[in-house]
Chain A
Amino acid sequence: MFIIKYKKIFVSISIALVVLSIGAILFFGLNLGIDFKGGSLTEVEYTNISRPDQSVIEASLKTLPTLGQALIQPIGDKGYSIKTRDITDKEHKDVLAALGTSATEKSFTSIGPSVGAELVRKSLISFILVSLGIIFWIAFSFRKVSKPVSSWKYGLIAIITLVHDIMIPVGVFAVLSHFSGVEVDTLFVVAVLTVLGLSVSDTIVVFDRIRENIRIGHFKTFEETVGRSLEQVYTRSIATSSTVIIALLALVFWGPASTKVFALMLTAGMFFGTYSSIFLASPLLVFVKNWQDKKSK
């Protein structure tokens, strides 16, 4: 009953976090990576000699006037990454030549604008379809509950928690992106959509239990029903999300470099997804009920 008793505090925490996230997104912005904008990324490593100074690289790339603006960043102790507009095979060879013979190429990506535009479209379509799919699923799951709160309100609250659950990881990403230069890439889209799928399932399990307890009718008030239901399911919620978070943290700390940010976003999504199903969705349900009661008086 603890959670329902202090529901105002928990809901306020959620609101504050979402506001902070939106603030971070607006203030820092989301840097679109070359996956979306098109462009090239060359990563080299100097294995035999110590790597030349960044200014040396900059100067030698300046000798290729057609290349335009090149962004040079050190990676690790031995390497550099060079970002430019999308380049042809010949230009790529020129860049490698400019970096010197002792530079070993670790990876090279060049993405044309039409490929980037395609990814933007595909991401948007996927996002819309996943959202629709989940909303239909929520509507279907709650078609049988009606009293004392009608089923569409459960659905609406589930969607509010969903927005909460993706806003926060995206906010976390905006902060990360500002301080470490990570960019929005394909995996970012996958992370957001996976969070959508994972977080709603937890909310559904909690609501499912409330629905069951309403049917059994053990508890006197709606508030008590929600509170007791939470007590029955929170161990499960925390236990299952803990195992997923354990798996994700293993990826963050020991996994491949390419999926670290992805795993971090999912960790945030999983954590706040669980938080929201217990501390946001159910208190909101009680708020809605109280508001209904007040209106009918």
Chain B
Amino acid sequence: MWKTRITALLILLLGFGIGYFVYKSEMSHRAVVKDVAPKGLAKFPFKLGLDLSGGSHLVYRADVSQIAASQVADSMSSLRDVIERRINIFGVSEPSIQVQDGGFSNQGEQRLIVDLPGVTDVSKAIAMIGETPVLDFRTENPVKDAPQQAVVGKDGNVTLDPYASKYIKTDLTGRYLDKAILEFNQNTGEPVVSLQFNTEGSALFEKITRENVGKSVAIFLDGSPISIPTVNEAITGGKAQISGNFTPQEAKTLVGRLNSGALPVNIELISTQTIGPSLGSQATAAGVKAALIGFMAIALFLIIWYRLPGLIATIALSMYVVIMLAIFKLLPVTLTAAGIAGFIISIGIAVDANVLIFERIKEELRGGANVTDSMHNGFKRAWLSVRDSNISSIITAIILYWFGTTLIKGFALVFLIGVLISMISAISITRLFLYTLNIKKTSGFTNFLFGSGLSSAKSQK
């Protein structure tokens, strides 16, 4: 018995611990100064979808008609990379850029979906993506201690650019690059990136390398260095290799980026959505309010209707809520208004398993069993019903997640996690707590405690 009680106590403490984590991480996240990398617990904020945080959602159609079928996937992922780099320059926090494969449901259209949290000026966002990036080659600045150059960012902040002073621009730019290829060193098997310049570029490259043997030449993309190889000898023929400690993946990424001096495929904007910041915060506040009210009303209902088991179910439900919130933070799950709705509904459904169990326990009591046996049998018998009644919801959630658009996925994922966690929490946590009570005697009072509604467990037929 003591073992059960100690376990119950530990579980309860764990629940408090998780609750504390959720609270503390949210508080420390709010305390984080903008543009400073979050540390410690502040690294686990709730991830809010665009409809709650405000921001822009852009859908582009990529024109892949000129590209061989086998190259489409590569082109799309390098398109993704180009656009990601373009966006990163503007300091958008946590942008999401996804390639949507041309499947059956969108009739083979290759799409790029760009989510920009916090960017509520859609025209600015569109311009940001439409700009052509600059690939250029720079040589070491002969002036070693050149003063660092101050750069005024788009947001008006002044930053020091350490590279702008160390390297100076040459005439060689991405315009002269014919293509970049991923290769593997025949001796070591190391991935290397081969560059092929066109005629003009080859001449320039030869000149630059001849003048910089033993020095480094930096390859800049959009003003930031992506690779700084050291020149070993003058290179003719316009072929260069960038070797480094690349993983094959890194090398592949680099090739993608190099090849994408300009966009590898033409894109056309087919859908936009922008949510202003005020609308987003209103929706968040309303969602939190509805969740709190919903939770309290359910707790009240449970305690009034189911008495002692109701109280225990409320404790289990609180644990369910903190576990869910912690999962949202840790996975992380992007929360949208629909997702919050899914969560609130799942709180209601989480009770279902408890109620099934309580009703079974009551029946066992009516059948003349004592409290302990009734609880044990009640749990055993209710499990099948609990499982069966949740399966259809699980089927629905999985299919919605599978085929849904972003909005639908937001709901389906929360709903699915909710149903699964609620089954576990009802069966394990509620059971543990009820067993902990260790009620041996069956009396009028215990019948009252385990009764429901207006009657006690015994008096109902």
Whether the Cβ atoms of A246 and B341 lie closer than 8 Å is no
Whether the Cβ atoms of B279 and A106 lie closer than 8 Å is yes
Whether the Cβ atoms of A246 and B388 lie closer than 8 Å is no
Whether the Cβ atoms of A106 and B388 lie closer than 8 Å is no
Whether the Cβ atoms of B301 and A125 lie closer than 8 Å is no
Which residues of chain A have C-beta atoms less than 8 A from B276's C-beta?
104-107
Whether the Cβ atoms of A114 and B109 lie closer than 8 Å is yes
- In angstroms, how far is the closest chain A Cβ from the Cβ of B36? 29
Whether the Cβ atoms of A251 and B290 lie closer than 8 Å is yes
The one of B278, B301, B415 in contact with A194, judged by C-beta atoms closer than 8 angstroms, is: B415
Whether the Cβ atoms of B273 and A108 lie closer than 8 Å is yes
Given known A-B contacts A130-B399, A246-B294, A258 and B122 have beta carbons under 8 A apart: no
Given known A-B contacts A243-B302, A258-B51, A248 and B126 have beta carbons under 8 A apart: no
- Contacting A at CB under 8 A, from B260-318, are 269-276, 278-279, 282-284, 286-287, 289-291, 293-294, 297-298, 301-302, 305
Whether the Cβ atoms of B287 and A243 lie closer than 8 Å is no
Whether the Cβ atoms of B396 and A196 lie closer than 8 Å is yes
- In angstroms, how far is the closest chain A Cβ from the Cβ of B420? 14
Whether the Cβ atoms of B355 and A190 lie closer than 8 Å is no
- In angstroms, how far is the closest chain B Cβ from the Cβ of A46? 13
Whether the Cβ atoms of A251 and B294 lie closer than 8 Å is yes
Whether the Cβ atoms of B123 and A122 lie closer than 8 Å is no
Whether the Cβ atoms of B348 and A89 lie closer than 8 Å is no
* Stretch of A2-10, A197-205, A280-288 on the interface side: A197-205
Whether the Cβ atoms of B404 and A133 lie closer than 8 Å is no
| B173 part of interface (Cβ distance < 8 Å) | no
- In angstroms, how far is the closest chain B Cβ from the Cβ of A163? 15
Which residues of chain A have C-beta atoms less than 8 A from B355's C-beta?
236, 239-240, 243
| A129 part of interface (Cβ distance < 8 Å) | yes
* Stretch of A50-58, A172-180, A259-267 on the interface side: A259-267
- Contacting A at CB under 8 A, from B341-391, are 341, 344-345, 347-349, 351-352, 355-356, 359, 363, 384-385, 388-391
| B182 part of interface (Cβ distance < 8 Å) | no
Please, how many angstroms separate the alpha-carbon atoms of A107 and B359 in the complex?
Answer: 48
- In angstroms, how far is the closest chain B Cβ from the Cβ of A164? 16
Interface of A: prevailing SS: helix
| B392 part of interface (Cβ distance < 8 Å) | yes
Whether the Cβ atoms of B405 and A119 lie closer than 8 Å is yes
The residue in A141, A201, A249 that gathers the most chain B C-beta atoms within 10 A of its C-beta is A201
Which residues of chain B have C-beta atoms less than 8 A from A118's C-beta?
105-107, 109, 405
Given known A-B contacts A114-B106, A239-B305, A242-B301, A247 and B282 have beta carbons under 8 A apart: no
Please, how many angstroms separate the alpha-carbon atoms of A194 and B411 in the complex?
Answer: 10
Chain A's closest residue to B381 (CB) is A212
Whether the Cβ atoms of B403 and A126 lie closer than 8 Å is yes
Which residues of chain B have C-beta atoms less than 8 A from A189's C-beta?
408
| B395 part of interface (Cβ distance < 8 Å) | yes
| A134 part of interface (Cβ distance < 8 Å) | yes
Contact with B along A95-111 (1 / 0, CB 8 A): 00000000011111111
The one of A108, A112, A205 in contact with B274, judged by C-beta atoms closer than 8 angstroms, is: A108
- In angstroms, how far is the closest chain B Cβ from the Cβ of A284? 19
Please, how many angstroms separate the alpha-carbon atoms of A130 and B401 in the complex?
Answer: 11
| B452 part of interface (Cβ distance < 8 Å) | yes
| A235 part of interface (Cβ distance < 8 Å) | yes
Chain B's closest residue to A240 (CB) is B352
Please, how many angstroms separate the alpha-carbon atoms of A58 and B379 in the complex?
Answer: 65
Whether the Cβ atoms of A246 and B297 lie closer than 8 Å is yes
Whether the Cβ atoms of B269 and A89 lie closer than 8 Å is yes
- Contacting A at CB under 8 A, from B236-281, are 269-276, 278-279
Which residues of chain B have C-beta atoms less than 8 A from A248's C-beta?
344-345, 348
- In angstroms, how far is the closest chain B Cβ from the Cβ of A201? 4
| B40 part of interface (Cβ distance < 8 Å) | no
Whether the Cβ atoms of B403 and A137 lie closer than 8 Å is no
| B83 part of interface (Cβ distance < 8 Å) | no
Whether the Cβ atoms of A121 and B352 lie closer than 8 Å is no
Given known A-B contacts A105-B274, A126-B403, A254 and B408 have beta carbons under 8 A apart: no
The one of A115, A187, A242 in contact with B271, judged by C-beta atoms closer than 8 angstroms, is: A115
Whether the Cβ atoms of A259 and B106 lie closer than 8 Å is no
Whether the Cβ atoms of A262 and B338 lie closer than 8 Å is yes
| A92 part of interface (Cβ distance < 8 Å) | yes
- Contacting A at CB under 8 A, from B382-428, are 384-385, 388-397, 399-400, 402-405, 407-408, 411-412, 415
Whether the Cβ atoms of B405 and A88 lie closer than 8 Å is no
Which residues of chain B have C-beta atoms less than 8 A from A259's C-beta?
287, 337-338, 340-341
Contact with B along A218-255 (1 / 0, CB 8 A): 00000000000000110110011011111111110111
Contact with B along A124-149 (1 / 0, CB 8 A): 01100110011001000100000000
Please, how many angstroms separate the alpha-carbon atoms of A248 and B342 in the complex?
Answer: 10
| B59 part of interface (Cβ distance < 8 Å) | yes
Chain A's closest residue to B287 (CB) is A256
- In angstroms, how far is the closest chain B Cβ from the Cβ of A207? 10
Whether the Cβ atoms of B359 and A126 lie closer than 8 Å is no
| A93 part of interface (Cβ distance < 8 Å) | yes
- Contacting A at CB under 8 A, from B182-199, are none
| A193 part of interface (Cβ distance < 8 Å) | yes
The one of A114, A247, A258 in contact with B270, judged by C-beta atoms closer than 8 angstroms, is: A114
| B61 part of interface (Cβ distance < 8 Å) | yes
Whether the Cβ atoms of B126 and A89 lie closer than 8 Å is yes
The one of B126, B272, B394 in contact with A109, judged by C-beta atoms closer than 8 angstroms, is: B272
Whether the Cβ atoms of B286 and A245 lie closer than 8 Å is no
Whether the Cβ atoms of B453 and A202 lie closer than 8 Å is no
The one of A111, A187, A240, A256 in contact with B356, judged by C-beta atoms closer than 8 angstroms, is: A240
- List the 10 closest A-B pairs by CB distance, nearest first: A197-B396, A250-B294, A244-B348, A247-B348, A112-B270, A255-B290, A256-B283, A201-B389, A243-B351, A240-B352
Q: List 25 A-B contacts (CB under 8 A).
A: A89-B269, A92-B122, A105-B276, A108-B274, A109-B272, A109-B273, A114-B270, A115-B271, A122-B105, A186-B408, A189-B408, A201-B390, A233-B359, A236-B355, A246-B294, A251-B344, A253-B290, A253-B293, A254-B293, A255-B287, A255-B289, A255-B344, A256-B283, A256-B337, A257-B282
Q: Chain B interface (Cβ within 8 Å of chain A)?
A: 51, 59, 61, 104-107, 109, 120, 122-123, 126, 269-276, 278-279, 282-284, 286-287, 289-291, 293-294, 297-298, 301-302, 305, 337-338, 340-341, 344-345, 347-349, 351-352, 355-356, 359, 363, 384-385, 388-397, 399-400, 402-405, 407-408, 411-412, 415, 452-453
User: What 6 new A-B contacts, CB under 8 Å, besides A109-B274, A251-B344, A257-B283?
Assistant: A119-B405, A187-B407, A189-B408, A198-B393, A247-B297, A266-B345
Q: Chain A interface (Cβ within 8 Å of chain B)?
A: 43, 86, 88-89, 92-93, 104-112, 114-115, 117-119, 121-122, 125-126, 129-130, 133-134, 137, 141, 186-187, 189-190, 193-194, 196-198, 200-202, 204-205, 208, 232-233, 235-236, 239-240, 242-251, 253-259, 262-263, 266
